[in-house]
Homo-oligomer: A and B are copies of this chain.
Amino acid sequence: MTETALAPTFQIDPTAQDALFRGARSVRAWSDEPVPEETVEAVYDLVRWGPTALNTSPLRLLQVRTPEARERLAAHMGEGNRQRVLDAPLALVLAADTDFHENLGELMPHMPGAAALFADDLATRERLSRDNAHLQAGYLLVGLRAAGLDIGPMSGMDASGIDVDLLAGTSWRSIMVVLVGRPAADNQAHPRAARLDFERAARAV
């Protein structure tokens, strides 16, 4: 190997690295401090610039704020997640828009006809929107933590039930629920679970 080292000169300092990844933990008990819409918008306005396939940008956010909507959402969650959905200051339903192609004239102006490629192919739209909404969910979770918020992402839910109830009449399909706020003073995280070492998660050819 004659490679010279391209040192990882991180653009974010170790404190921020900890806040975004190493030190961050999913929260299980929440304080009452509210999370206003302006904060969610500030995070969205940052992370929306992350790349997606063909700039499809299919991630959509349903902010579940009213007690009535919170009860409806909780009813579709796995049993262990219901009370947390009721307790957290904000619950976000992350969704994939299966009609993302309707925006491609605006999002992909240098590829005229991109929308037409998908118009009659719902199966491809479902796969592409689900894949890229998860990719954007990665950006969003990092962005929420970057904004000083704690998160509790959950996929233990009846996604079809959420779609029929809270997303009725839309082309949005739920992929995840993310609780957002600040931890309660008595929040207790699980012991930090392990992750795979690089040697087991990566190979080279």
**Shortest distance in angstroms between A46's beta carbon and chain B's nearest beta carbon?**
5
Q: Is A196's CB under 8 angstroms from B57's CB?
A: yes
Q: Is A145's CB under 8 angstroms from B202's CB?
A: no
Q: Is A119 an interface residue (CB 8 A)?
A: no
Q: Is A116 an interface residue (CB 8 A)?
A: no
Q: Is A123 an interface residue (CB 8 A)?
A: no
Q: Is A84 an interface residue (CB 8 A)?
A: no
Instruction: Give chain B residues whose Cβ lies under 8 Å from the Cβ of A161.
Output: none
Q: Is B34's CB under 8 angstroms from A3's CB?
A: yes
A195-B49 contact, Cβ under 8 Å, with A34-B4, A147-B8: yes
Q: Is A44 an interface residue (CB 8 A)?
A: yes
**Shortest distance in angstroms between A107's beta carbon and chain B's nearest beta carbon?**
6
Q: Is B4's CB under 8 angstroms from A195's CB?
A: no
A-B contact pairs, 22 of them (CB 8 A): A1-B36, A3-B36, A8-B43, A10-B147, A11-B15, A11-B148, A22-B46, A22-B49, A40-B198, A44-B201, A44-B202, A55-B193, A55-B195, A60-B203, A65-B205, A107-B193, A109-B194, A130-B131, A134-B138, A136-B138, A139-B142, A166-B205
